[in-house]
Each structure stands twice: as C-alpha cells, then as structure tokens.
Amino acid sequence: MARYQVILAYDGTGFYGFQRQKKDAQSRTVQGVVEAALQRLGWQGPTLLFAGRTDTGVHATGQVIAFDLDWLHPLEALQAALNANLPPDVSVRAVGLAQPDFHPRYDALARRYRYRIFCEPVRNPLRERYAWRVWPSVEPERLWQATSWLPGEHDFAAFGTPPRAGGKTIRRVYRASWQEDLDGLTFEILANAFLYHMVRRLVHLLVVIGQGEQEPEAVCKCLEGTSPDLVKGLAPPQGLSLDEVIYRPELLA
C-alpha cells in the first residue's frame, strides 16, 4: 500500500463543484467521478484527499489529490489506467509517490489561481465557457493600479469567508498581477491560502474599478476594513481556474 499524489485537470462546466455532495449524492462532482475510476482499479478507501474545493463551474489545471492504493505497476500505468476510466472532461496530468502522511490540503504552502476576462459588447458562447465577458470595457492601467494593493499580509474578510466558522481571515498574497494579450486579460494570484469566494470577489471589484465605477483605492479601503460594503458582487465561476498547489519537496517521495 502506497500513497499517491495526482495532479488533475478538469473542465468544471459539467460538474456541481469538486467535492462530493453529502446531501445530494446524485449530483455530478469531480470527486465522485475520480473515486469511481479509482474503485474500478481496486481502491477501497472511504474518500480521497484533495487540495481545494472548487465551486460549480470552476476549472482546474493543477488540482492535487492523494489516495492510498495497492498498485504493482509503474506510475505511468496508473496514470493511463485512471485516464482510461475517467470522462473526457477530467484528466490525470501527473502521478507521483508521496509520504504516507501527505495531505494535499493541509500540507500546501501556496496556491495559484488564474481568472480570465475579455471585453466585447456581444456574447461569444465559445469564449465565455472559460472567461468572463465584460462590458463596458476596462482600462488596464486602472486594474494594475488597484491590484498593486494586494501583495502582502492583509485581512481579506471583505472578500470571503474562512473554511470553518470563526476561522481567521488574514491571508498572505505573494504575487498578484494582470497580463494583457490578444485573448483578453488574465488575473493571476499566488497566496498561502484563500477564503471562500475570495478570488471571484476580488476580480469583481477589480473589474468595477477598471470600468471606472470605483477608484483603485477601493481595494485598500476594503483591506483596511473601512469600506467592506464596496465589495458588492461575485465574478462568474467559468473564468476561474486552480492552476497550481505548491508543497515542500520532501513531502513527495
């Protein structure tokens, strides 16, 4: 019996989030289809471990899961076997061995999320599957100015709720930036941890600022707790992707 670490990619469009639903076992979740694939390979565990609970419609290219399994073949064979039993909207990108006590959520040092937007006045069904169509257009310079307040340790209570009631809302952002290209604008943020809905609330406020409805200093006021009411919306899920979870190398065998 060994503990395996797996990096998953998935299109979240057809899933009711990542985590299996206790109250609605019939809802299609990423956890549910991965556990079903594992069971076909002889896995008998009660539940797999995972790094992040992505919402309905949110995508991933770097979700991390872990499980214990008796597997007598090479890692490449396990990857191929899992992918053969997974639906087309989920893929195992990498398989590795981990320490017996490795936990993808509690051992994570940082997570990196990406959010994509594009500015067009008329809906674009293909692009809108993986990005938020924004109109009126945003001014990139206003986005960059507002985003400059994010790096560092702050109280993000205005932007989300902790995983457990009464939990801390202070998070450290290592990097936050926007990149502009022919496909639109991409927001990338790397932090030690995230609150529930934190990235989507951040992006919504940043877009409002980019459209000129709020000043860039609104981000600072929210982080200081002086004007939390400025956070009034939630960016749609399809623009968001969990791209990377970072660990200490010694946790992986």
HSE-CB at 43 with a 13 A cutoff on CA atoms is: 22
Query: Which has the closest alpha carbon to 2: 83, 63, 72?
Result: 72
SS3 168: coil
Beta-sheet strands, E only, within the chain: 2-10, 49-50, 59-69, 90-98, 110-119, 132-134, 152-155, 170-181, 184-191, 240-246
Positive/negative CA dihedral, 7, 34, 103, 116: positive
> Which residue has tokens 């927001």?
187
SS3 33: helix
Is 11 part of the annotated catalytic residue set?
no
State CA 132 to chain mean position distance: 15
CB 63 within 8 A of CB 7: yes
Do you find a cis peptide bond into 104, omega within 30 degrees of 0?
Answer: no
Q: What is the DSSP string of 138-159?
A: P-HHHHHHHHTT-SEEEE-GGG
Distance CA 117, CA 127 (A): 9
Which of the following is catalytic: 55, 181, 183, 229? 55
Q: Which residues are catalytic?
A: 55
